[in-house]
Structure 1
Amino acid sequence: MWSIGELAEHAGVTVKTVRFYSDRGLLPEDARSSGGHRRYGPAALDRLRTIRSLRALDLSVPDVGRVLGQEDPLEDALEDVIAGQLRDVGSRLAALRWQEAALQLLRDCTPEERLERLRLIGAVPAPPNTAAAARFWRRWLPPRLPARVVSAILERAVPQLPDAPTPAQVLAFARLHAFTTGDCTGGPGHCQPAAHRPDEGYRPAVLYDGLVEAYTLASPAIRAQRPPHDGEALDCFVSAYARSHGTRDTPVFRHGLSRQLAADPRVDLYWQLIAELAGPSEPTPGAAHDWLLTALDSELARQ
């Protein structure tokens, strides 16, 4: 049997460390001396080394206790704790990569730009998230849309954040956050497209179902950098507006739709920043909308 000092010496740690783990129940004593001092057997050395290995992975004391409380420490408890620790490390690494890119952005700009960029970056939550963009779309979209339609729109409109952003992407996201947290819609009932206003007679759920399909159909042509043209995507786009308004797709309707969409409020800055953030690999709904509107105007100009 070893004293607490002898165990500490064998393990290469301080007496304070052994006492700390003993007091927290991680390192039970095997016996007490006649004077009431703790005594440890050789198995305590292996257990202490296991504790130190787990702590070296930055596991908390309660998590170490969970692992050591199993009959076999290499079974489910250790696997779960390691998986959780990997997620935590990944989150911290992602936050550090964003911080590194933000610092590079501030380092490489002019003194005149630095203060504005610092304020933009300082307003972004840490770690960065897209909650503000999701709230923006929930305010911008018509009320009482079915949950499945809202989910489909948010999936396409709210960006995925890059794990290793460039300084330019950090700046784009900071500007996007400023845009989506500002008063960019003018308040409820103002600065909204006609299809969002109940007095216009639209059925927004029908409209947005059709628009999601139309944007999907247009995406291959946009990726291939083909000029806007008529076809299935344009017909689906116009049909979405017609069906949502309870009317038919006719030449007269197409002329009226072109005028309406030209006059509707737009969120072009949002889509511009999304494109800067996500890159050109996948067309945004804004790019698809512009492509389809140009295709409609081109078709009407030929008539």
Structure 2
Amino acid sequence: MSPDDLWSIGDLAEQASVTVKTVRFYSDRGLLPEAARSSGGHRRYGPEALDKLRLIRSLRSLDLPVSEVGRILEREDALEDAIAGRLRELGSQLAALRWREAALHLLRDCTVEERADRLRLIGAVGTPPSTAPLARFWRFLLPARLPARLRGAIIEAAVPQPPADPTPSQVLAFARLHALTSDVRLGTDLCRPEFRCAADSYRPVVLYDGLGEAYALASADLRAQRPPQPGESLDCFVAAHAAAGGLRDSPGFRQQLSGLLVLTADPLVDRYWQLAGELTTPPSGPAEPTLGSAHDWLRAALDAQLAGAGRA
């Protein structure tokens, strides 16, 4: 075909139901190359340009940036990556909108006296909410001698993620959790657990490896709504503490451990787990166990066993 038999920029714009400015925009960016130039130096396009222009408009309707569209036109396999990336972005945006909606409901439905405090709490939490203060809180609490893989696993289990579709009460729980862990004076003696003062022979790796297994077993008991009672999970819990100190499990050790757990209980950590439990409680159904609720169940099971032994 000679240049004069091809479409002008106006013809192509009319065929695609777009403006000449749109065709020129994509042409100038190399997405819609011209087939030739007329004798007067005007752009000319072949029929294939119409298909490409329609494809460009479809991709742009998905809010894909022009640079991404260019890569897709060059490589067909780039479309799958672009779709996956756009879905991730939209998921993040929708989660942020749902969070803001729940926060607005929280403010609308509270009393005038509560509003200033809730505004302060919510305003300190970004969108999407960040769990960085929560992770930093646990990095401080955990002993320095823990290997990275164990430390990472504990932090992952201890830090609840903000729900994708939160209720107003969950927004409030997370905001309070965020404030609790942001305001704590890390680096002081505040909320330092017992193991930081332990002797050199104390083996925190043994303790936390064993506690992980015990908490997993106790979580199964919690999901089954079993009352705290002796069994495999309690034996594993006690064994972890005994082995960490190079001791043996015995009735006497269990008595000592019960007292130690009372002495080392920290109100700040207890408050953390209370809020984490509120955050992980679905609108309907039982709460998902946390490390804190598993720990409390095991403590209660130990106390129940000791009380039973005392009555025997």
Identify the residue that residue 291 of structure 1 maps to in structure 2. Answer: 297
Provide the aligned length of Structure 1 versus Structure 2.
Answer: 298
Identify the residue that residue 241 of structure 1 maps to in structure 2. Answer: 241
Where do 1:86-97 residues align within 5 Å?
86-97=87-98
What amino acid does structure 1 have at the position aligned with 2:271? Answer: L
**1:18 pairs with 2:14:** no
Q: Give, in whole Å, the separation in 1 of the partners of 2:215 and 2:182.
A: 26
The answer to whether the 8 A contact 2:173-2:278 is kept is yes
Shift of 1:198: 4.0
Identify the residue that residue 271 of structure 1 maps to in structure 2. Answer: 273
Shift of 1:190: 4.4
Q: Give, in whole Å, the separation in 1 of the partners of 2:158 and 2:119.
A: 26
**1:66 pairs with 2:68:** no
Where do 1:195-210 residues align within 5 Å?
195-199=195-199, 201-210=201-210
What amino acid does structure 1 have at the position aligned with 2:18? Answer: V
Where do 1:94-105 residues align within 5 Å?
94-105=95-106
Q: Give, in whole Å, the separation in 1 of the partners of 2:177 and 2:74.
A: 48
Q: Give, in whole Å, the separation in 2 of the partners of 1:22 and 1:177.
A: 50
Identify the residue that residue 84 of structure 2 maps to in structure 1. Answer: 83
Identify the residue that residue 171 of structure 2 maps to in structure 1. Answer: 170
Q: Give, in whole Å, the separation in 1 of the partners of 2:225 and 2:37.
A: 80
What amino acid does structure 1 have at the position aligned with 2:276? Answer: I
Structure 2, unaligned stretches of length 5 or more?
1-5
Q: Give, in whole Å, the separation in 2 of the partners of 1:297 and 1:217.
A: 18
Q: Give, in whole Å, the separation in 1 of the partners of 2:244 and 2:95.
A: 43
Shift of 1:300: 2.2
Identify the residue that residue 3 of structure 2 maps to in structure 1. Answer: none
Shift of 1:201: 4.3
> What are the superposed Cα offsets for residues 164-212 of structure 1, whole Å, 9 maximum, x if unpaired?
111111111111111121215x525543221232447421111111111
The answer to whether the 8 A contact 1:102-1:167 is kept is yes
Identify the residue that residue 148 of structure 1 maps to in structure 2. Answer: 149
Q: Give, in whole Å, the separation in 2 of the partners of 1:192 and 1:261.
A: 14
Identify the residue that residue 39 of structure 2 maps to in structure 1. Answer: 34
> What are the superposed Cα offsets for residues 121-149 of structure 1, whole Å, 9 maximum, x if unpaired?
11112212323222211111111201222
Q: Give, in whole Å, the separation in 2 of the partners of 1:85 and 1:18.
A: 25
**Most deviating of 188-197 and 289-298:** 188-197
> What are the superposed Cα offsets for residues 22-45 of structure 1, whole Å, 9 maximum, x if unpaired?
110001111112222212222212
Change (3 A) 1:179 1:167: same
**1:52 pairs with 2:52:** no
What amino acid does structure 2 have at the position aligned with 1:292? Answer: L
> What are the superposed Cα offsets for residues 56-82 of structure 1, whole Å, 9 maximum, x if unpaired?
010110111011113xxxx41112211
SS at match of 2:7: coil
Identify the residue that residue 288 of structure 2 maps to in structure 1. Answer: 282
**Most deviating of 140-149 and 20-29:** 140-149
SS at match of 2:192: coil
TM-score (norm 2): 0.90
What amino acid does structure 2 have at the position aligned with 1:278? Answer: T
The answer to whether the 8 A contact 1:194-1:200 is kept is no
Change (3 A) 1:115 1:200: farther
The answer to whether the 8 A contact 2:277-2:287 is kept is no
> What are the superposed Cα offsets for residues 234-278 of structure 1, whole Å, 9 maximum, x if unpaired?
121111111101111222222221111101142111111111111
**1:187 pairs with 2:192:** no
What amino acid does structure 1 have at the position aligned with 2:232? Answer: E
Q: Give, in whole Å, the separation in 2 of the partners of 1:258 and 1:133.
A: 28
RMSD over aligned CA atoms reads 1.8
What amino acid does structure 2 have at the position aligned with 1:32? Answer: R
**1:221 pairs with 2:255:** no
The answer to whether the 8 A contact 2:141-2:193 is kept is no
Q: Give, in whole Å, the separation in 2 of the partners of 1:102 and 1:67.
A: 39
The answer to whether the 8 A contact 2:9-2:23 is kept is yes
Identify the residue that residue 129 of structure 1 maps to in structure 2. Answer: 130
What amino acid does structure 2 have at the position aligned with 1:59? Answer: L
Percent identity between matched residues is 66
The answer to whether the 8 A contact 2:233-2:298 is kept is yes
